[in-house]
Amino acid sequence: MWMKILMLGWEFPPLKSGGLGTYLFHFTRELHSLGVSLSFIMPCVGKDLKQDFINILQAGPASEIIGIRSTLTPYAVSLPDGTLQLQVQFAGLEFMQEVRAYTVNAVRIGKDISCDAIHCHDWMTFPAGIILKRILKKPLVVTIHSTEFDRTGQLFPNQQIAGIEKKGLVEADRIITVSKLMKNQIIEKYGISPEKIRVVYNAVDLSHYKRKEVQKPLAEKIVLFVGRLTIQKGCEFFLEAAKRVLEEEPNTRFVIVGTGDLLFDLINKSIELGISNKVTFTGYEEDVSAYYSIADLFVMPSVSEPFGLTAVEAMACKAPVLISRQSGVSEVLRNVLKVDFWDTRELAAKIVSVLKYSSLMEELRERGFNEIQQFRSWRDVASETIRVYRDVIG
């Protein structure tokens, strides 16, 4: 191995909550195949996670940190010479306690690891990455997969989290974003210089996402949503469009795969709209390929989507795809339909067009599938990231 990277992340399969875990698995495996040695520090999950291509280290649980309180807790880490390196106020919420515990333990582990550069993924790891940059005197690369503005639909960002994000972006020697949309957002929201930002688009694992020969459980046409049920993903607009669609195409079922903090709100919304008998909430599913395979149309109506892996996964399973223009993946996909997430009238009209005209459905299905066969690989993602490493190390 000719390059050593100390990587910090919040999840790793099989323990993952969304696209970040999928990304990290494929991305780190390809880095290893290209000669990168990886030490990966993640939060403690209570069980061993072993992979032959990465050394996974778990930062201890919050219970190991003495003095966590339910009030604002000042937190500082000092270098061996006693100089103060970073001070962050972590709110006393349970998740912030976990972030604080991770920071303390990740620094304890990481300060003794030999590396050429440090690479952090998303804001939860930024405080530890900044401290380790100063202790180890190594360059810091951060990949930002989603900002606080994305996660809150640009409405009410948590200023504490946004402050940590900005600190990490300012301190980083290079920033990787997964789309130009994300690059422009951090320039606008955080005042980051475009010169230190590199765009590295995501990829798809074609060996994992393949069309399955699955019998449809019902005779209805199926319009599919897959994603976390949060304000960012735009599922409420999906339901509002569903109401309009059912007025013209009543033999349609809207299937929502995923869970999240808006689950009960969305169930109630389907009742209020009078369409609950036409909407199925499946909850979380580990393997969504079967759902993609039976979909007559996959819809990704995201309010603010840095990339949007579900769209390319669906295309790999031969599902016709409709995405919001407010997604990073819309920059690189051609054979899909696109709409502004908030325009539920246009969203419904395009859904109806696909359901009504089989020729359009089949054209989207076949052209989309052919496009994805030539899509980026995770080897491409790893190779482009190595160029970023070389840039900061050199």
Alpha helix stretches (DSSP H) within the chain:
19-33, 94-110, 126-136, 148-151, 159-171, 180-190, 235-248, 263-272, 289-294, 309-316, 344-356, 358-373, 378-393
Q: What is the pLDDT of residues 239-298, one digit of tens each?
A: 999 999 999 999 999 999 999 999 999 999 999 999 999 999 999 888 899 999 999 999
Residue ranges of the domains in the chain?
3-203+377-393, 221-373
Topology agreement, domain 3-203+377-393 and domain 221-373:
yes
CA dihedral 94, 267, 307, 383 (to 10 degrees): 70
3-class secondary structure, 241:
helix
DSSP 161: H
Structure confidence by residue, pLDDT tens digits, 33-55: 999 999 999 998 878 888 999 99
Among the four given CATH numbers 1.10.10.10, 3.40.50.2000, 3.30.465.10, 3.20.20.370, the one describing domain 221-373: 3.40.50.2000
* Structural contact between residues 338 and 330, judged by C-beta atoms closer than 8 angstroms: yes
Q: The whole model's pTM is what? A: 0.87
Tell me, what DSSP letter sits at residue 258? Answer: B
| Residues 67-92: tens digit of each pLDDT | 433 232 333 444 444 433 444 444 44
3-203+377-393 belongs to CATH 3.40.50.2000: yes
